[in-house]
Every structure is written in structure tokens, then in C-alpha cells.
Amino acid sequence: MKKLFIVLFLTLIVSSGVYGVPIGHNYNKTEIDAIKEDTEGLQTSVAQDSTQQEADLVNTTAIKLDTEGLQTSITADSLNVEGLTESVTKDSTNVEAILVDTGTTLADTLSSILSEVLIIERHSQGKHRIFGKNEMQTGTVKADSTAGAWFYPFVITSAADSTLGTAIQILGADDTPMQVGMTKFDLHEVFVVAVDNATPYVLRVLWGATASAALVAGNYTDTWMASDISNPQQASSSEIDISMPRIDSGSLVWLQCSNAAGAQTISIVCSLIEYP
């Protein structure tokens, strides 16, 4: 193709003259060398144009490959997103299936969690009511939460054989609620006022129509406590926490104690937290 182009070019030169020299002119060596130099220059230019075209083609191919690579990467990212979405959807479906199996909805579950959180928060930061023994006890009134009764403790005696002694009732049906509008409560803490023995005691809290009925139903909780005869407040150092579930207002509550020495007494006042 290049040779054909050169022949056509030479034909054009010869037919039209070179450097203004008319056709039929007898060319001397200088003129022939000039024509030859122009021809070689044209060949070089054509070769350079061809090389540039090849380079442009290579660049175009590289750009195309980069574009295809980018498309592949985008497709892979899209597949990853779709896979993540599918995974989240499956997890959501599994949660919904569990909720359906248990007969609840997500809203029910969240409401239940919030309710439990509020109960815990109220137990930690709710109103604390201290009560002691009512000096005028009746069948339904055993406690007194007025300031004058705080220092009248409940006295509990352990059995002679180191087992739990007789249960005494500390809350009657009319002792709770202590605050208007409250429907549940839990015994929160006890404070040791006096002891007969410096060895450890076990204190049992029971709730139910009777102490024996509470024991059969498993409605009781136990805790250790120890105190010094000469200074029980210093030995106790603070109120002792009682762990128990919330129970309905008006429930009857009982106390028992045990001591390894047998037939020992412990005197305590109590506190409770109430819930709406």
C-alpha cells in the first residue's frame, strides 16, 4: 500500500513538475536528490502515522479492558450487596418465625424488654419504704412504716437444733400497698438491729397464705448474714439486700432464721420497693 502511494506521488510530481520545474525538464543531480529526500520524508511521515495509529489502538484496547474490569468489579460488589441483603432477610425471617412459634410479635417482644428494664430501673432508683413491727398488730396489719416504728424490730428465733425456727409474719394483707396506686412490691433490704450470737445466721423470706404453704410452693429466698453482739450495726455495715421476685400487693410475708449455735435471736427492720 505504501509503495503504491509513493508511485502515485512520484507520478504526480513528474506530471506536474517539481519546485516549479516544468514537465519534460532535464533534472540534474541536485534536483533528483531533492525529490528523493522529499520522498523519504513522506515515507517517514507515513510510517510515524501508522505507528501512532497502532499506539492509539493499543490505548483503546487498554481502556476497554479497564472498563470491563471495572464492570466486573461493580458486578461483584452488586452480588455482595445482594448476598448481604439476602442474609439479612433470612435473619429477619428467622426472627419472625421464632416470634410466630412463641405467639408473639416483634412489638410484643420490645414492649416486654422495655417493661423489664423499667422494673430494674425502678428497683434501683425507686422510692424506698422502711418498716418495723407494728405495736398494735391485727390479723391483717403486721408492719408500720411511720417514723416512730422504724426502731421497733421484728425478732426472729432460730430452732434449738440449728434449723430454721418458727416463722413470724412481717406483712399482712393490709400492709401493702404503702403508696397509693402501687400494685406490686418486693422486700428490698433488711437491717440488723441486734443479735444474740456473733456466728452467721441464715435468714429466709417466704411469701404466701402461710409459711408452710410458701415452702411447699417454693416461694422463698435465703440469705446469709452475720453480726457482732456488741455492735451489730458496725458488723453489718449496711443494709443487706434481699433477692426475690415482685409479688402482688396484699401478699403475706414471713421470716425465719437459723444459727449454728441453736435457739439464737436476730432483730431486724425491713424495707421494700413498690411498683405500679
Residue 125's pLDDT is what? 62
What are 153's strand-pairing partners?
none
Give per-residue pLDDT as tens, 247-257: 999 999 999 99
CA neighbor of 257 nearest in space, from 267, 247, 248: 267
Local structure of 244: helix, strand or coil: coil
Give per-residue pLDDT as tens, 165-210: 999 999 999 999 999 999 999 998 998 888 888 888 999 999 999 9
Q: Quick check: 257 and 266 in contact, CB under 8 A? A: yes
CA neighbor of 133 nearest in space, from 165, 174, 171: 171
**Is the model's pLDDT at 7 over the cut of 60?**
no
Q: What is the DSSP string of 144-196?
A: E-SGGGTT--EEEE--TTSS----EEEE-TTT--SSTT--EEEEEEEEEEEES
Angle between helices 29-101 and 2-16 (to 10 degrees): 140
Please determine, looking at this structure, whether the domain spanning 128-275 carries the CATH number 3.40.228: no
Residue 2's pLDDT is what? 47
Q: What share of the chain is helix, strand, coil (3-state, %, to 5)?
A: 45, 25, 30
Residue 4's pLDDT is what? 47
CA neighbor of 186 nearest in space, from 237, 145, 218, 221: 221
Q: What's the burial of 97, exposed, middle or buried (CB within 10 Å: 0-12/13-18/19+)?
A: exposed
Residue 18's pLDDT is what? 45
- Integer Cα distance of 127 and 202 in angstroms: 27
More confident residue, 14 or 43: 43
- How much of the chain exceeds pLDDT 70, in percent? 54
Helices and strands per DSSP (H, E), number in the chain:
5, 11
Give per-residue pLDDT as tens, 91-104: 556 655 655 666 66
Determine if the pTM surpasses 0.85. no
Residue 229's pLDDT is what? 64
Phi and psi, residue 168, nearest 5° = -115, 145
Average of pLDDT values for 10-34? 56
- Integer Cα distance of 195 and 225 in angstroms: 11
Phi and psi, residue 267, nearest 5° = -110, 125
Q: How many CB atoms lie within 10 A of CB 76?
A: 10
Give per-residue pLDDT as tens, 28-66: 777 667 666 766 665 666 556 666 666 666 566 656 656
Domain boundaries, the chain: 2-75, 128-275
- Integer Cα distance of 98 and 205 in angstroms: 37
**Is the model's pLDDT at 84 over the cut of 70?**
no
Residue 80's pLDDT is what? 63
Residue 12's pLDDT is what? 47
